[in-house]
Amino acid sequence: MLNSELSKVELPRLILASGSPRRAEIMKSVGWQFIKDVPDIDETELPGEQADIYVQRLARTKAQAVAERHAGQIVLGADTTVVVDGQIVGKPVDVDGAKRMIGLLSGRWHEVLTGVAVAKNGRCEYGLQSTRVKFAPMSRAEIDFLAENGDPLDKAGAYAVQAQAALFIEGIEGDYWNVVGLPISLVYRLVKNLANAPNAKVLA
């Protein structure tokens, strides 16, 4: 028989420091209650900044900026980018840019990196999730189709794995939800770490 205390899991209400509809959908899908408060921060890369450092820095900056407005609340920040041959591939500014990005990904493996941070009352826990994704070789018509129909302009790498891009993805190594936009298991672990800090309520 399971111990009722050991089997109890609490998902504390969060402040989501992101306007991403995909992150909101993932939170809702696991039953996590939250409200949104989108920060206004400078997302410019620093000179020589590596991708893994960049996404974690932005996640922390987002979470901490919003946490200053919500004393006593847990704030979740995240940032995702795509990396090809060590180079950051951001979000396209137009459809032509999306076509160039998708052409770069065609027939190759790339890496999706998400920095995640949770902050409360001056304390911050953060981490990184990495997933590898491979696109099949794509024809010009297929690249154009994905760029023109896949709503690419608000997405790192110009694609959504759960939408039209699924037609062309040959392999995923790692956390699928990371590619969608939020590695929810990492979020859960970080929230537990934060809750287990001194003077904080234990989650489970």
Residues marked as catalytic? 79
Which is nearest to 80 in space by CA: 145, 155, 5, 14?
155
**DSSP label at residue 136:** P
Burial bucket for residue 192 (CB in 10 Å: 0-12, 13-18, 19+): middle
Total Cβ atoms within 10 A of residue 19: 12
Q: Which of 37, 62, 14, 22 is nearest to 181 (CA)?
A: 22
Nearest partner of 193 among 181, 204, 178, judged by Cα: 204
How many helices (H) and strands (E) are present in the chain, helices listed first?
A: 6, 7
Pinpoint the alpha helices (H) of the chain: 21-29, 51-67, 95-105, 140-149, 176-180, 184-195
DSSP, res 174 = S
Spatial distance between the Cα atoms of 15 and 30, rounded to a whole number of angstroms: 16
